[in-house]
Amino acid sequence: MLPLHHLSAIQIRDAFLKGDISAVQIVHHFLSRIESYDDALGAFLSVLNARVLLKAEALDKKRARGLPLGKLAAIPIAIKDNMHIQDEITTCGSKFLAHYRAPFSATAVDLMEKEDALLIGKTNLDEFAMGSSNENSAFKPAQNPWNLQCVPGGSSGGSAAAVGARLCSIATGSDTGGSIRQPASFCGIVGYKPTYGRVSRSGLVAFGSSLDQIGPLTTTVADAALTMEVIGKQCDYDATSLDLPAECYPLPKELEPGTVIGVPWHFLENLSASSRQNFEEVIRVLKDLGAKIVEVNLDLLKHSIAVYYIIATAEASTNLARFDGIRYGVRPPECKTLEEVYDYSRRMGFGREVKKRIMLGTYVLSAGFQDAFYKKAQKVRTLIINAFDEAFSHCDAVIMPVTTSGAFEHGAIHDPLEMYLQDIFTVPANLAGLPGISVPSGYDSRGMPLGLQILGPQMCDVSIMQIAHAYERATQHAKIPEAYG
Amino acid sequence: MANFDHQTLEYLKKLCRIDLSKEEERDIEVSLTRILKYVESLKDVNTDKTKTCRYILRGMLKNRMREDEIKNLLSREKFLENAPEQIGGMVRVPPVLKGSS
């Protein structure tokens, strides 16, 4: 058998089910990889050694007794540290929650544990999931396993680095403006953002509630599909959770005959040379697989970043009002009045990017400016949704690169606006609630991974997963970075 | 559209209850000025006849009503474990009304 970390999540599970390996052996293998590599990589904020070993021992006993085993049996999974695992710390990458112990588990986490997943640790992220580089983590930056000088992307940078370096088989992420797809692309793995409402947000620390969606980061499309079968379920604790039966994700080998794929060429004019070359190669492959390629007009998407940074910060300023030092946080004895408690905890608890976004969000919602900014943005959002509707009346899926270029170096982007513009290809899916997947599509001239993004109409999670699977099967770009083989 | 200046920043600090160091203040003022200038580009988009987006899941989202019944989802003890200060099974807060103790 290949070393365990060369196997996909499904292969690990099947080896466990066949009795080739025990859950405890699997856990030891991945814990020792974390031990060896994570000091340099910074992917984890906490490793749940004792907890995961207990779970693994219990799972081995369950197998020995011949009891039925779950769909995720013995798969080592990491959880982004903005999702709760009951009785464990959820920091959200913020000093504010450095000691916050989750009183319950997120629904997605619960569903995975019910299917016998082994939760191995909590992964690093930009504070409150606000960032595109993981450099906004209050604790430490995570690094890119393909080149430690480069960022892993954000905000689910720790999850992407962990799966990219094969320190676990699957990690969860949350995607508000690209926070699953962009780091997955930067780290050479698969990242899936479901249709808004497909996965319950209960137990996810809220950032932009009309945009946030939980999804998996994996090494193969099939592993992402498997995770979705488990977590894509209606939930009573999330009022926006879709009231639909859980989907199955059959993945045929071939592209469905007659598949039409739209390319918004005009919107893509600012691609770097190597990204453009890579994207043209992607189109050639899809044509070879039998897809019909058509041009679609999505020029309006050039306004996505402006719309997104108004709506996301407005929602964040509201969501983050709950961090007031009353129900959780630190309260030093010198804070005697209510105002002193608020001011102290928000001053000490929040990092600069979070403060900036709360202030921007408050500004665009404030009296006198709401019509010009927030309401205007929500109107343009309607137009963007309509533009996608029109595009999808001509095609089954829209493709574009995940990012304008491969991962950039740490500290390379100082200007906040330039950093925000990194998300230009990923935020549209969040604005329109669409499912989107990032699949490895090759490497740039520096050897850094690039990704193909496939977007589909709302609810069409299964069909874009199928297109991604056919593309992945034809290209096989995913590989393990040499240093982690 | 709007003119973002130091006075606006002071007003926002109060609204958000966020205190800033001098260095943070300079940085945030410059950043927000730049970002607001950028998002002003939206005024070029004609939205005269466009409705404000309220729900992105059109036709899929329903109000789900339920009975108002007590379920034991989170115990008082568990909730209070994260509270900075507690008294008699409740979260302790500083006096809210002036003159109270």
Give me the active site residues of A, please. 80, 155, 179
> Which of A331, A343, A416 minimises the CB distance to B84?
A331
A335 close contact with B: CB closer than 8 A: yes
Q: What CATH number does residue B10 fall under?
A: 1.10.20
Residues of chain B contacting residue A341, judged by C-beta atoms under 8 Å apart: 93-94
Cα distance from A203 to chain B (closest Cα, Å)? Answer: 13
Does the beta-carbon distance from A338 to B95 stay under 8 Å?
A: yes
- Answer whether residue B31 is part of any domain: yes
Residue of A nearest to B39 (CA): A306
The encoded tokens of residue A181 equal 């797809």
A260 close contact with B: CB closer than 8 A: no
Interface test with A, best of B9, B12, B17, B25 (most A CBs within 10 A): B17
Place of tokens 């919602």: A365
- Answer whether residue B99 is part of any domain: no
Does the beta-carbon distance from A346 to B17 stay under 8 Å?
A: yes
Beta strand A436-443 pairing with A449-455 = antiparallel
What are the DSSP calls for A175-187, one per residue? -SSSTTHHHHHHT
- Answer whether residue B36 is part of any domain: yes
Neighbours of B41 (CB within 10 A): 12
Does the beta-carbon distance from B42 to A459 stay under 8 Å?
A: no
- Answer whether residue B83 is part of any domain: no
Contact of A90 with A106, CB cutoff 8 Å: no
- Answer whether residue B1 is part of any domain: no
Does the beta-carbon distance from A359 to B12 stay under 8 Å?
A: yes
pLDDT tens, A324-339?
Answer: 999 988 788 888 899 8
Q: Is residue B100 scored above 60 in pLDDT? A: no
Helices (H), B2-101: 6-16, 22-39, 76-80
A417 close contact with B: CB closer than 8 A: yes
Task: Place A95 in a pLDDT band, splitting at 50, 70 and 90.
Answer: very high
**Which is the CATH superfamily of the domain at A4-258+395-484?**
Amidase signature (AS) domain (3.90.1300.10)
Least trusted range by pLDDT, from A46-60, A417-431, B61-75: B61-75
Does the beta-carbon distance from B56 to A210 stay under 8 Å?
A: yes
pLDDT tens, A435-454?
Answer: 999 999 999 999 999 999 99
Cα distance from B33 to chain A (closest Cα, Å)? Answer: 10
> Which of B8, B38, B83 minimises the CB distance to A327?
B83
pLDDT at A334: 85
Does the beta-carbon distance from B39 to A197 stay under 8 Å?
A: no
Does the beta-carbon distance from B47 to A383 stay under 8 Å?
A: yes
Closest Cα to residue A72, out of A236, A187, A218?
Answer: A218
pLDDT tens, A355-393?
Answer: 999 999 999 999 889 999 999 999 999 999 999 999 999
Chain A and chain B share a number of CB contacts under 8 A equal to: 165
Q: What are phi and psi of A323, to 5 degrees?
A: -85, 85
Cα distance from B22 to chain A (closest Cα, Å)? Answer: 12
Domain count, chain B: 1
Average pLDDT over residues A193-218: 97
Q: What is the dihedral of CA A173, A177, A181, A186, to 10 degrees?
A: -100
- Answer whether residue B26 is part of any domain: yes
**Residue-range definition of the domain harbouring residue B28:** 6-42
Task: Place B31 in a pLDDT band, splitting at 50, 70 and 90.
Answer: very high
Average pLDDT over residues B19-36: 92
**Domain chopping of chain A, boundaries:** 4-258+395-484
Q: Which of residues 105-144 of A touch B (CB under 8 A)?
A: none
Residues of chain B contacting residue A197, judged by C-beta atoms under 8 Å apart: 57, 60-61
In chain A, what percentage of residues exceed pLDDT 90?
A: 91
What is the interface pTM, i.e. ipTM, of the complex? 0.93
The encoded tokens of residue A387 equal 């533009």
A326 close contact with B: CB closer than 8 A: yes
pTM of the predicted structure, to 2 decimals: 0.97
Does the beta-carbon distance from B42 to A101 stay under 8 Å?
A: no
pLDDT at B2: 54
